[in-house]
Structure 1
Amino acid sequence: MSMAKIKGVLLDLSGTLYSGSDRIEGTRRCLAELERRAIPYRFLTNTTTQSRARIVQKLASLGVVTKEEWILTPMAAACERFRADGFASAALFVAEEAKEDFSEIPEDRAHPDVVILGDLGREFDYDTLNQAFRLIADGAAFYALARNRCFESGGELFLDMGPFVEALAYASRKEPVCLGKPSKAFFENAVAELDVPAESVAVVGDDLESDVLGAMHNKLIGILVQTGKFNRDQLDQMEQKPDAVIESIAVLPELLSSS
């Protein structure tokens, strides 16, 4: 596939632009080159432990200055879906640092219309999961902000929220509404931000399933970086391959110049 057709870019964050508290080499040069070429881009992340404001602060600490509205998260998608569903209250099982992005949603842990599950990290204990399970079993709708299997930080892999989403879905017999990558609506809303044809938008990330194949299933271009949680064995075993595999974000400008 020719990469010269790319007119817009959606960039994953963790594992793609940074790892833990370290910026991945080439990130700033890549963003500067996208701006020089007038290629619009946004940051499309499944991170649910921080608000958009906190993510902007983190990027700034790494020397990447951006606008809060350019950070597209599952939290914003959840608020939009909450309004569309006509709900009045929610039980928020999300990290405290992410709650500021839910300020417009009234919280009710007794009789909520919907359970909204984010990444609770070490707070994913039996009592917390059981409370969420009982609310869902009693009739509350079920939103999952993401469904990733794992994430990488500082060179190590950690359980992401996907395994806990699966546990609640299995126990409650209720399939959740997934609001982050690879949901179709999440990608569609992100593409709309770029104002270019969907078939000319590339998604760049380290998660083969959620970022890359998720993008390709939604008719976007999928580019896998060999940083973060990249796994060669997983790539080799997949029948469907990415449109491109690159060493890191630093190589993206060179790829965009290919024809």
Structure 2
Amino acid sequence: MRTQGLLIDIDGVLVVSWAALPGTLEAYVRLRDAGVPMRLVTNTTSRTRASITEALQGAGFPVGLDDVITVAGAAAAYVRANHPGARCLLLNSGDLSSELPGVTLVPPDADPRTVDVVLVGSAGPEFTHAALNHALACLLEGAVLVALQRNLVWQTTEGLALDAGAFVLALEQAARTEAVVIGKPAPALFEAGLAALGLGPGDVAMIGDDLDSDVRGGMTAGMTGVLVRTGKFREAQLGDDGPAPDVVLESFADVPGWLGLG
């Protein structure tokens, strides 16, 4: 099989609410012991890269900081390159400041006329009506909208919950603007993962539970798209008008067998 390396989504693929899904830990260890190059790529911004690594280690996964690639780092690089010196309003669930080196963050109540970029991360309790209205005011004053990701939902132990994409869509419509999207399915995060693996897209499979963001995004980038039937997967997705995934597996636990590792 041509696949030599793997990019792996985290939430809904390896874990749900940071607890390992059945068989995923054993499969990850099997792949690591077989020497398969792997990186974990996530749109999650509710935790720092260090916190994600610690949570995965707590669930038993033998991962290090360099194994995890987050969208926040790619977002920081985008802002530094395209809006140097910009004053940025961050709307995110959790403290992400340490993940945005070189980015100037303003207080949440900053005058909308002084804000150059509105950064939207993962949704949570911070996404209040007042906070969203303030972000809208900044956009109406000319700020650029940058979405770290635009997933509509994410999987929790209580079921599906609204994610940032729902609010990004509302802000786009209300401000009559279009967000620059950094995370999957946009290319930046996939490119960072491929660079970390040192492999071309034709030699890598992207494994995810989100057909659009993970799998189709990876396929558009030239990778093999592997969809797992865990996390946010819903059977009805397979009947839509979009391209079918290259591979559908019951769970990440089946990946070693798919790669011929037993």
1:6 to 3, 7, 21: 3
Q: Which moved more, 1:203-212 or 1:84-93?
A: 84-93
1:34 to 18, 31, 35: 31
Structure 2 gap segments, 5+ residues each? none
Q: CA deviation at 1:155?
A: 5.2
Distance 1:73 1:100, change over 3 A: same
User: In structure 2, what residue type is equivalent to 1:69?
Assistant: D
Calculate the aligned-residue CA RMSD, in Å.
1.5
Q: 3-state SS of the aligned residue for 2:105? A: coil
Find the counterpart in structure 1 of residue 231 from structure 2: 228
TM-score normalized by the length of structure 2: 0.92
User: In structure 1, what residue type is equivalent to 2:167?
Assistant: F
Q: Which deviations, in whole Å up to 9, do the C-alpha atoms of 1:131-171 show, x marking residues without a partner?
A: 11111121111110100011111151111111100001111
TM-score normalized by the length of structure 1: 0.93
Provide the identity percentage. Answer: 35
User: In structure 2, what residue type is equivalent to 1:74?
Assistant: V
User: In structure 1, what residue type is equivalent to 2:212?
Assistant: E
Q: 3-state SS of the aligned residue for 1:42? A: strand
Deviating beyond 6 angstroms after TM superposition, the runs of 4 or more aligned structure 1 residues are none
Q: 3-state SS of the aligned residue for 1:47? A: coil
User: In structure 1, what residue type is equivalent to 2:34?
Assistant: R
Q: CA deviation at 1:23?
A: 0.5
Q: Which deviations, in whole Å up to 9, do the C-alpha atoms of 1:79-118 show, x marking residues without a partner?
A: 1001111421211112233332125322123312211111
1:165 to 168, 188, 209: 168
Find the counterpart in structure 2 of residue 66 from structure 1: 63
Find the counterpart in structure 2 of residue 129 from structure 1: 132
Equivalent pair of 2:7/2:38 in contact (CA under 8 Å): yes
Equivalent pair of 2:219/2:225 in contact (CA under 8 Å): yes
User: In structure 2, what residue type is equivalent to 1:122?
Assistant: P
Q: 3-state SS of the aligned residue for 1:190? A: helix
Q: 3-state SS of the aligned residue for 1:123? A: coil
User: In structure 2, what residue type is equivalent to 1:107?
Assistant: L
Structure 1 gap segments, 5+ residues each? none
Q: CA deviation at 1:239?
A: 4.0
Q: 3-state SS of the aligned residue for 1:163? A: helix
